[in-house]
Amino acid sequence: MTRIVVDNTRCVGAAQCVLTAPDLFDQDDDGLVMVLEENPGTERVKSANTAATLCPSQAITIQES
């Protein structure tokens, strides 16, 4: 199972995650990342990994269990 974990203390609000995977990420009123689906299905794991890679502050981690 894949799990998306975010560290809001690292988020700089660049919104690369939202632009890359708007079905998985959004931003709160302060511009910080919010996870819309913590456990994405297999078809969305690639998007989650791309968003994590593009995050300039490395605030997104994809965990596999």
By residue range, what is the domain housing residue 57? 2-64
Label each residue of 20-65 as H, E or C.
HCCCCEEECCCCCEEECCCCCCHHHHHHHHHHHHHCCCCCEEEEEC
**Residues β-bridged to residue 26:** 34
C-alpha span between 45 and 13 (Å, rounded): 22
Residue 51 has which token pair? 């968003």
Confidence of residue 44 (pLDDT cuts 50, 70, 90): very high
Mean pLDDT value across residues 5-20: 98
CATH code where residue 52 lies: 3.30.70.20
Note the pLDDT of residue 47.
Answer: 97
How many domains, the chain? 1
